[in-house]
Amino acid sequence: MKHGMAQILIVEDDIPLAEQWIVALEAKAHQVLHCTNARDGLASIGVHWPDLVVLDFFYKCINGRAEDHSGLTFVQSANQLAKSLYKPMPKIIAVTASVPDAQFPIDVMESAQLMTNQKLTIRRQKPFATEVLLNDVTAALRA
């Protein structure tokens, strides 16, 4: 991968927010894919195998029903897929607007990190400045 040219998957149901991120990431020469739900996001990983996933961690639906920890389910499924295909797990930036910072369940994030052998970048509250996302993406791709 050339510097600044990563394939990035955004799993985000807030379409205007995702579009803002897409424009900013494409301006930095990244190829960006977008899915509005976790199920499609997992399918996209299987087909495109992105370098990085920006994941709405507390997504409300992954298996057709509401779930409190759908981000963890997404990470578990992606990790199983990576192992079955002998591919490296895509890096993940987890974002959420579902809970205030003080209530963000760190144990869930730690479980996801242990499962994937990688540190997940946590951006607890959205929306946040697009420049913050660009900085997180740059840092995650360098790690």
The per-residue pLDDT for range 104-127, each reduced to its tens digit, is 555 555 655 655 566 566 665 677
- Name residue 26's amino acid: E
Per-residue pLDDT band for 1 (boundaries 50, 70, 90) equals very low
Query: What was the pLDDT predicted at 66?
Result: 47
Residue-wise DSSP of the chain:
--TT--EEEEE-S-HHHHHHHHHHHHHTT-EEEEESSHHHHHHHHHHH--SEEEEETT-SBSSSSB-TTHHHHHHHHHHHHHHHHT-PPPEEEEE-SSS-GGG--HHHHHHHHHHHTSPPEEE-SSS--HHHHHHHHHHHHH-
The 10s digit of each residue's pLDDT in 60-80 is: 555 555 454 577 788 888 888
Q: Which distant-in-sequence residues (6+ apart) come within 8 Å of 79 by Cβ?
A: 89, 115, 116
Query: What was the pLDDT predicted at 131?
Result: 92
User: Does the pLDDT of residue 143 top 70, yes or no?
Assistant: yes
